[in-house]
Structure 1
Amino acid sequence: MILVTGATGNVGRHVVAQLAGAGLRVRALVRDPGRADLPEGVEAVKGDLTAPETLAPALTGVESVFLVWPGFSGEAARPVVDLVAAHARRVVYLSANAPAGTPTFHADVERLIRGSGINWTFLRPGGFAANTLGWADQIRTGVVRWPYGQASRSLIHEKDIAAVAVHVLTSAGHNGAAYTLSGPARLTQAEQVAVIGRAVGREVRWEDQEPQEAREALLTAWGDAAFVDGALKAWGRLVDEPEEVTPTVERLIGRPALPFEQWAADHVADFR
């Protein structure tokens, strides 16, 4: 039995679907089983990672766990990691390959997992292609205003992260591995917007926004000044120090990582 947390999220829903499609026993941790819309044969169990006392039924009889931590505090994951280690033999943790200087809770969660005694594998994707969904409203207007148009990232399709997770969950030889994942090529943020525009059949132009103006909006959304400032600094660094491109996806699953153009085509409806 494999337990998938974040089972209705961008990555988790693909992990669930791919595992179920392979005929494996899958249990999905969800807040509301009635609204989860899971593939046939997947067992939905109600639970919440931020309320560890709800997790025991989901972990009973589980061998492996795909773990997505939803909070900004890594230390808060301690009781969840302890429970997973007490019930399961292996955890695959969706971590991050964050740009240098970006505040991240993932290092703390990784540390907790290493110290728990459970067999582990860490997946460290860089920029998620799905994060560009944050521009959807602006894409519809034809103009995207955001800082650092020349910041360059190797964005990864969530389907590729899921495919790697499924491979690791269902094959041997990954214990103690930390895999850095990326898309197949770098694109600047301005180029990403142009790709999305072509996919939706609409000309979309980029306008550089002053970082201070973006900071005010991000403070409203995130509420943590240190996190916002660190993120803006890291994004700015990507102008001169582009995100790395790694061959890990192809090495693990036997096909090249999906290009951003494919991701945009898969998400046309989200931008219309």
Structure 2
Amino acid sequence: MIVVFGATGTIGAPLVTALLAKGAQVRAVTSDASKIDALKSQGCEAVVASFDDPDALAQACAGAQKAFLVTPADLDMRSWKANVIAAATKAGVKHMAISTGLGASPKAGLTFGIWHSESQELLKESGMDWTLIQPTYFIQNLLWQAGNIAANDVYLDDLGGPISWVDARDIADVAAVALTSDGHAGKAYGLTGSQAVNGDEIAALLSKATGRKIVLQHVSPTESHAGMVASGMDPAVADAMVQLSGLGPKGYLAGIETTVSDILNRPARSVADFITQNSAAFKS
């Protein structure tokens, strides 16, 4: 049994699908009771558990041999991961793969890198076998702007530099391999796409996919922070997001890792293909 925490999220949802396709027994965990039936319809177990509920987390881990853990970017993400790691350890889970972030390490100079590193070190100290899944920016984040792009023909760029965007489905596929085959314990997998794409290139791809001229509009760090806070994000998390995006103009988010192709024996999914496949979302 493989238990997937965050089973309805950007990584967790395709991971459940990928694991079931491999014939694995899956227990999907969500905090949203309204999503239980949809999860069960895929052929997996499904349970409700809040990251703040140790008893529910313990029940979710019962009888599982392996686990995958991902949480939203939140001020409580470290305590949430600590709760799951503790529950899994107590339940006798043997191997956990945890999604953190590219560059997370004890020496990280960024807030997210430090937060993720704390969780990684906690997992390493748990006694479980571990695999670190460390992605960069998700291509799926482009869909956050679908409504604005469709309505205003504007792509808002708060990154200001080339980004080696990675598809969350590739992250899920790598995690599925790590949890269903040997040789992945004790490994840290940095995950990116196969090329770095800047804002001008994304606007051009959106223009081609929609048949309309999509204009690039740069967003300042101050505007970006204000927008995130207005959407409900904790100011401290927004600070960390702005700090991370500030690496974009320096080219520090453009590095390429070959992990996806190395593990999956196929090319990483591209930004161009993603935009083409989701062109309807940017039109309506």
CA distance in 2, matches of 1:98, 1:221: 27
Contact 1:123–1:180 under 8 Å retained in 2: yes
Q: 1:268 to 1:72 in 2, by over 3 A?
A: farther
- Corresponding residue to 1:204 among 211, 214, 225: 214
Contact 2:52–2:83 under 8 Å retained in 1: no
Compute the TM-score of the two structures, normalised by the length of structure 1. Answer: 0.90
- Corresponding residue to 2:111 among 90, 98, 103: 103
Which amino acid is the alignment partner of residue 86 of structure 1? K
Match of 1:55 in 2: 57
Contact 1:222–1:228 under 8 Å retained in 2: no
Contact 1:102–1:231 under 8 Å retained in 2: no
Contact 1:101–1:234 under 8 Å retained in 2: no
Match of 2:47 in 1: 45
User: 1:39 deviation in Å?
Assistant: 4.9
User: 1:101 deviation in Å?
Assistant: 4.7
Contact 1:8–1:36 under 8 Å retained in 2: no
Q: 1:159 to 1:17 in 2, by over 3 A?
A: same
- Corresponding residue to 2:66 among 46, 64, 67: 64
Q: CA RMSD in A?
A: 2.1
- Corresponding residue to 1:248 among 229, 239, 259: 259
Cα deviation code 1:106-162 (max 9, x no counterpart): 1121121111111100000111111122222221110134434x4110000111001
Cα deviation code 1:171-230 (max 9, x no counterpart): 111111111010010001232233233223332111223332232222323554444334
Task: Give unpaired runs (5+ residues) of structure 2.
Answer: none
User: Which region of structure 1 is more displaced relative to structure 2, 31-40 or 189-198?
Assistant: 31-40
Q: State the percentage of identical aligned residues.
A: 29
**Helix, strand or coil: the match of 2:111?**
coil
Task: Give unpaired runs (5+ residues) of structure 1.
Answer: none
- Corresponding residue to 2:190 among 175, 180, 193: 180
Between Structure 1 and Structure 2, how many residues are aligned? 271
Compute the TM-score of the two structures, normalised by the length of structure 2. Answer: 0.87
The reply on whether 1:92 has 2:94 as its aligned counterpart is no
User: 1:76 deviation in Å?
Assistant: 4.3
Contact 2:51–2:83 under 8 Å retained in 1: no
Match of 2:272 in 1: 261
Which amino acid is the alignment partner of residue 251 of structure 1? D
The reply on whether 1:158 has 2:162 as its aligned counterpart is no
**Helix, strand or coil: the match of 1:169?**
helix
The reply on whether 1:7 has 2:7 as its aligned counterpart is yes
Match of 2:227 in 1: 217
Contact 1:78–1:112 under 8 Å retained in 2: yes
User: Which region of structure 1 is more displaced relative to structure 2, 174-183 or 202-211?
Assistant: 202-211
Cα deviation code 1:50-72 (max 9, x no counterpart): 32221233211100001112343
Which amino acid is the alignment partner of residue 187 of structure 1? V
CA distance in 1, matches of 2:57, 2:237: 29
Which amino acid is the alignment partner of residue 66 of structure 1? F
CA distance in 2, matches of 1:34, 1:173: 33
